[in-house]
Structure 1
Amino acid sequence: MTGPGLTRAPAGWYPDPDGAAGMVRWWNGETWSDVTTPAGPGVAVQAAPVAAAPVPSAGWDGGAADGWQSGPASAPGSRSRIAWWIGGSVAAVVAVVVLALVVGLSGSGGTPVVDDPPVTAGPSGPEFPPGTVRIIDEEAGISYPFLGNGWFEYDLGPMLETRTIAGQYFTTQEGVPTGGDFIAQCTSGPVADGYGWAGPGSEQATVTALADSVRAAYYPFPNEREVLRDEALTVDGAAAHLIEFQLTWDVEGYDSTGERAALLVIDVGRPDPALLYVSIPNTHAELYGVIDRVLADIDVL
């Protein structure tokens, strides 16, 4: 039960309890995420509750619940101490939202808009340089948003489907039954030979072959696939085709039982089209919204 005088705060975005201007932190109803992200249009910032609970220690590994510091899980609070907030601080919330709108409307070179909860994950790869807001894939000929703290620079080696690979990822499960780790990713590269590219007009055939390839290569079997979108698009003036699907499985040894994935092939005017591949396991379903955010903000170089 909840102790007298303490109200359990609902999951949602709250102003960063450390007081960082223009930043919000995701509260899951029990504990804080260990990652902050910029406020922005579409982020519903909640009014600050009264009581507070600690967030992860510096050594938190993003896994089991016993990685959290002990303490009352009644409402959001400071990372380094229990904080007490004035209930109903509407003015503070309005200030954060106004600042977010100013940042979001200040131009394409500013801080990326955040519509989804931040990442809570285990150890991953190298961090991007401070100030990174976009990933520029010169080989593929496209750029797209960096998704923020908690996403790491992709360093896991090549994929079958692209000649080179760039992008971001984080680990969602270490040591799956087939070996290696399970990850969420947002990566890109020039499409490799053998996937049906025959020049302009073959975007759909190519992305269909690529979607079949990643399903066979990177997911547990047996699985079922539900196609959510299969449509032609125009991306920064270039012809493209998108396939987005939901995979589901029930395979022992996996924390996830499914994944949302999107593959976008773009004719960038080069011998090889660009592939953008975004995949989010359902253990992190709160991040499904990053798919639309990335698709809406791709530039052809």
Structure 2
Amino acid sequence: MSGPGQTIAPAGWYPDPDGAAGTVRWWNGQTWSDVTTPAGPGVAVQAPPVVAPPLPPSGWDAGQGSGWQAGPSSPPPPRPRTAWWLGGAVLAVVAVVVVALVVGFSGEGSPPVPEDPPVSAGPSGTPFPPGTVRIIDEESGISYPFLGNGWFEYDLGLMPETRTIAGQYFVTQEEIPTGGNFIAQCTSGPVSDGYGWNGPGSEQATVTALADSVRTAYYPFPNEREVLRDEALTVDGHAAHLVEFQLTWDVEGYDSTGERAALVVVDVGRPDPALLYLSIPNTHAELYGVIDRVVADIDVL
């Protein structure tokens, strides 16, 4: 914990204190880990005014990998990605390997889901029932892996981008400046009207509009965005489009200084396409790999 007037470096990537040029090392908020990675695009390196852990290499430029695009000058007031309520007593964090109560069970013979690194989650919602390997969203028409290890059933309320919502989340910071909590999430739903869907062939236009919407609505402002991927996909034989981006910000009161987000719009052959939305703050950057894992394992129902 940090007392009054003290500053402690939050978890994140920092220039490697061992002095390896162009390399960053993961700091978990208390100690250095053994995890290192090359610095560059897609790696959100903590930078001033955050106080980094001791012994960063001198002369390292935390701004390398530039090319960020400035956000709009006067956005509408943000709608934080927060918990609308945390009912009753606060639930203790548990490591769960559990089934999609939100949306049903997978069929027999589903392969076991490999474990991800445990997450350090704050008070969250309802654990999934034991045995879950996939989340099956009947409303949107897709299914995808349950991530286990501290992820909870999404029960925080609707988002305007989709008509219904299903999926998983955990709290990464309580009591952010705009109210409520900051979360990591992996959710889905049928796309609402007003985001450019005109039938097959409009996947890119729709996912671009959705990416702009969530950037304005759910993240600290001002922020900067680097698009990492903007590409057409085939998902279980169906046309889809992916936009993945890294946001960075320097806003007082937030543990995170950035977030990795990905949105996939899939033409599931229904009047509304499906949206899969993944968002991981850089306080938990070691979980960025779940984005590729989930995107690669979407099934159309």
| TM-score normalised over the length of structure 2 | 0.64
**How far, CA to CA, are the matches of 2:126 and 2:145 in structure 1?**
17
Cα pair distance change 1:29/1:122, threshold 3 Å: closer
Question: In the alignment, what sits opposite 1:260?
Answer: 260
Question: In the alignment, what sits opposite 1:251?
Answer: 251
AA matched with 1:127: P
**How far, CA to CA, are the matches of 2:129 and 2:114 in structure 1?**
19
Matched, 1:194 2:191: no
Question: In the alignment, what sits opposite 1:203?
Answer: 203
Describe the superposition over 1:204-240 as per-residue Cα deviations: whole angstroms up to 9, x where unpaired.
0000000000000000000000000000000000000
Matched, 1:242 2:245: no
Describe the superposition over 1:158-204 as per-residue Cα deviations: whole angstroms up to 9, x where unpaired.
00100000000000001101111100000000000000000000000
**How far, CA to CA, are the matches of 2:223 and 2:109 in structure 1?**
39
Question: In the alignment, what sits opposite 1:113?
Answer: 114
Pairing 1:267-282 to 2, within 5 Å after superposition: 267-282=267-282
Which aligned runs of 4 or more in structure 1 are off by greater than 6 angstroms? 28-31, 59-62
Question: In the alignment, what sits opposite 2:217?
Answer: 217
Question: Does structure 1 conserve the Cα–Cα contact (< 8 Å) formed by 2:117 and 2:149?
Answer: no
Describe the superposition over 1:100-145 as per-residue Cα deviations: whole angstroms up to 9, x where unpaired.
xxxxxxx97121134x422111110000010011000000000000
Question: Larger radius of gyration, structure 1 or 2?
Answer: 1
Question: In the alignment, what sits opposite 2:149?
Answer: 149
Pairing 1:14-163 to 2, within 5 Å after superposition: 109-114=110-115, 116-163=116-163
Question: In the alignment, what sits opposite 1:20?
Answer: none
Question: In the alignment, what sits opposite 2:20?
Answer: none
Higher relative contact order (CA 8 A, sep 6+): 2
AA matched with 2:196: G
**How far, CA to CA, are the matches of 2:171 and 2:281 in structure 1?**
10
Question: Does structure 2 conserve the Cα–Cα contact (< 8 Å) formed by 1:118 and 1:287?
Answer: no
User: How far is 1:149 from its partner?
Assistant: 2.4
Structure with the bigger percentage of helix = 1
AA matched with 1:139: E
Structure 2 spans left out of the alignment, 5+ residues? 1-27, 32-89, 94-107
**How far, CA to CA, are the matches of 2:281 and 2:117 in structure 1?**
14
Aligned length: 202
Structure 1 spans left out of the alignment, 5+ residues? 1-27, 32-58, 63-106
AA matched with 1:272: D
Cα pair distance change 1:261/1:108, threshold 3 Å: farther
SS state at 1:111 partner = coil
**How far, CA to CA, are the matches of 2:154 and 2:91 in structure 1?**
22
**How far, CA to CA, are the matches of 2:158 and 2:124 in structure 1?**
17
| TM-score normalised over the length of structure 1 | 0.64
Q: Among all aligned residue pairs of Structure 1 and Structure 2, give the percentage whose two residues are the same amino acid.
A: 84
User: How far is 1:30 from its partner?
Assistant: 7.5
> RMSD across aligned C-alpha pairs, in angstroms?
2.0
Cα pair distance change 1:131/1:246, threshold 3 Å: same
**How far, CA to CA, are the matches of 1:206 and 1:60 in structure 2?**
37
